Amino acid sequence: MSRSRLEDILPFLSVLILVSTLFGLVLLKMEVRRMGYSVLKSSHEYRKLQDQRRMMSMEYAKLTRPDRVRKFAVSKLKLNDSRNGQIIQLAGQTLAMPQ
């Protein structure tokens, strides 16, 4: 390409680059906005899941409370408190003794 021809298209190229940069900036700004909405939605979801986890751990704690487990063991499984002679203590290889 001859030098004179290059000089002819340079103003157009400059305008093109300027316009493309402007468009790029606008697109970037729009992408930031779009991601902002996405983060907002995800953070709401995150808080909701955290709350759900808390609710479920509370539910678990309620279900495994010692008095409930004991009541279940006594009434449904017909278990009783251990008495002397019913427990065998295992301590190493030398001692095995019911108490």
Partner 1 sequence: MKSRILILFSAFLLLWAVLLLRAARLQIFPDERLASLKRRQFETSLQIHTRRGAIVDRNGTELAASVPAYSLFADPKVIRDPYGLGKKLGSYLDMPAMNLKRRLRDKQRRFIWIKRQLSEKQRDEIKSWGETGLGFVEEPKRVYPNGGLLSQVLGFVGSEGNGLEGLELEYNKELLGQMKTIILPRDARGRPLLEDGRSLTEVPDGADLQLTIDHEVQFTLERELAGVVDHFQADTAIGIVMDAQSSEIVAMATLPVVDLNESHRYPQSLRRNRVVTDAFEPGSTMKSFVIAGALKENLIKPSTRFFCEDGRMKVGDKWITEADSNHHFKTLTVTEILAFSSNIGAAKIGFELGAERLNRVMADFGFGAKTGVELPGEARGIMNPLPWRPHLLSNISFGQGIATTPMQMVAAYGAIANGGLLKRPLLVKAVRPAHRDEEVIEFQAEEIRRVLSPSEAATMRLMLTAATEEKASGWNARIPGYHVAGKTGTAQKVDTVKGGYIKNAYISSFAGFVPASNPRYVIYVAVDNPKKAYYGSQVAAPVFSKIAQYLVRRAGIPPVLISERNMINTPAGEEKRRSALQARAMEDLKRSSEEDAKTFPNLMGLSLREALAKIRERANHVQVRGSGVVVRTIPMAGSEMSGKRNVVLVLENPD
**Which residues are near partner 1 by CB under 8 A?**
33, 36-37, 39-40, 42-43, 46-47, 51, 54-55, 57-58, 61-62, 64-67, 70, 84-85, 87, 89, 91, 95, 97-99
Pick 1 or 95: Cβ nearer partner 1: 95
CB of 88 to partner 1, least distance (A): 9
Q: CA-CA distance, 70 to 97, in Å (whole number)? A: 26
Q: How many CA atoms lie within 13 A of 35 on its CB side?
A: 6
Pick 7 or 67: Cβ nearer partner 1: 67
Q: How far is CA 15 from the centre of its chain?
A: 48
Pick 18 or 28: Cβ nearer partner 1: 28
Q: What are the C-alpha distances in Å from 54 to residues 40, 43, 59, 62, 63? A: 21, 16, 9, 12, 14
CB of 68 to partner 1, least distance (A): 9
